[in-house]
Chains A and B, each alone.
Chain A
Amino acid sequence: MEDDDPALLAAVCDGSERAFNTLIDRHQQAVRNFLRGIAAREDADDIAQETFLAAWTQARAFRGGSSVRSWLFSIAWRKAKDAQRWWFRRWRRDTAFHDLGETDSAEDAAGPERAALRQALSSLSIDQKAAVVMCLAHGFTHAEAAEALDIPLGTIKSHVTRGREKLREALGDIR
């Protein structure tokens, strides 16, 4: 289905609403899941919306050297990094503290493994989180992740190795 992504993006360039809707429907789950892994949950959907808006306005910038999904992830990554620097989001995150508490306790009840995973993820740097989520959850190769995140290949490999070890440790503890 994703073989025709470049054609879809070409149609987006020509201003096709239908193509843009299809692009969102096809990739929203992956992009949002990626962002939930690397950013605060209450910011993730906001950043995902900005990502698709940027895809609409910058569709002509897609050169075809990578997959459309990889291109979308790279936009999402830059947006997430920008968001991390933005003090207002931190303030919003603080005010959402009570909601977060409720979410965590709900997750604890749903599955201790998921709760432990979230806890372990929060101990990783944002670069490590991105590398781990892209490679382990979304099937990107190290080279693809390196290109999308604009991080050297060797660094990506070490991020994935260390991140994986931390997650295994955390998940091993609850067994």
Chain B
Amino acid sequence: MDDDRIGELLRADAPPARDPMFRLSVLERREREWFRQRSLVLLCGALVLAVIALIGISAGGDTAMTTVVLVVLAALAVGYVLYRPAVARLLQRFGF
């Protein structure tokens, strides 16, 4: 038996050349992965902000100022998470 016939038999098990369902599965999986990562980052961010707030308030800081700082930090964190690819490209453009 020659190599061509063996190759033919090995390829006989191949999936169809066009398989939109497979592509959709990959895209769906990517969305799930993104969602998981974003949730994780947001959760970590919320935890960090809560810790900063606790430290700020327990150190006798101004509650209004602490709130403003936290809102700004939260906005930056959310912006980064939502626009991470664009931020990464921007940073790369400036050589970081």
- Residue positions of A touching B, CB distance < 8 A: 14-15, 21, 24-25, 28-30, 32-33, 36-37, 45, 48-49, 52-53, 56, 111, 113-114, 117-118, 132-133, 136-137, 139, 164, 167-168, 171-172
In the bound complex, do residue A167 and residue B23 qualify as a contact, i.e. CB atoms below 8 Å apart? no
B62 at interface (Cβ–Cβ under 8 A)? Answer: no
Complex Cα–Cα for A42 and B28 (A): 19
Chain A residues with Cβ under 8 A from B85's Cβ? 15
A137 to B5, CA, bound (A): 9
Which one, A28, A118, A136, contacts B3 given CB within 8 A? A136
Contact of B13 among A14, A37, A49 (CB under 8 A): A37
B1 cross-chain contacts in A, Cβ below 8 A = 168, 171-172
Complex contact A53–B15 (CB within 8 A): no
B17's partner among A29, A56, A117 (CB-CB below 8 A) is: A29
Select one of A28, A113, A132, A139 contacting B15, CB under 8 A: A28
Chain A residues, Cβ within 8 Å of B3:
136, 164
Is A113 a contact of B22 with CB atoms below 8 Å? no
Check B7 against A137 for contact (C-beta < 8 Å): yes
Q: Which of A53, A113, A117, A137 has the most CB of B within 10 A?
A: A137
Binding site for A on B (CB under 8 A): 1, 3, 6-7, 9-19, 22-23, 25-27, 29-30, 33, 85, 89
The distance in angstroms between the C-alpha atoms of A57 and B27, with both chains bound, is: 13
Task: Kindly name the residue among B10, B16, B29, B30 whose own CB sees the greatest number of chain A CB atoms within 10 A.
Answer: B10
User: Is B26's CB under 8 angstroms from A53's CB?
Assistant: yes
Contact A53-B30, Cβ < 8 Å, known A29-B19, A171-B1? yes
Question: Does B10 contact A32, Cβ atoms closer than 8 Å?
Answer: no
Identify which of B16, B25, B33 contacts A29 (C-beta below 8 A).
B16
Given A25-B23, A28-B22, A48-B22, answer yes or no on A37-B10 (Cβ-Cβ < 8 Å).
Answer: yes
Q: Bound complex: CA of A30 vs CA of B10, how far in Å?
A: 11
Q: Which of B10, B12, B15 contacts A133 (CB 8 A)?
A: B10
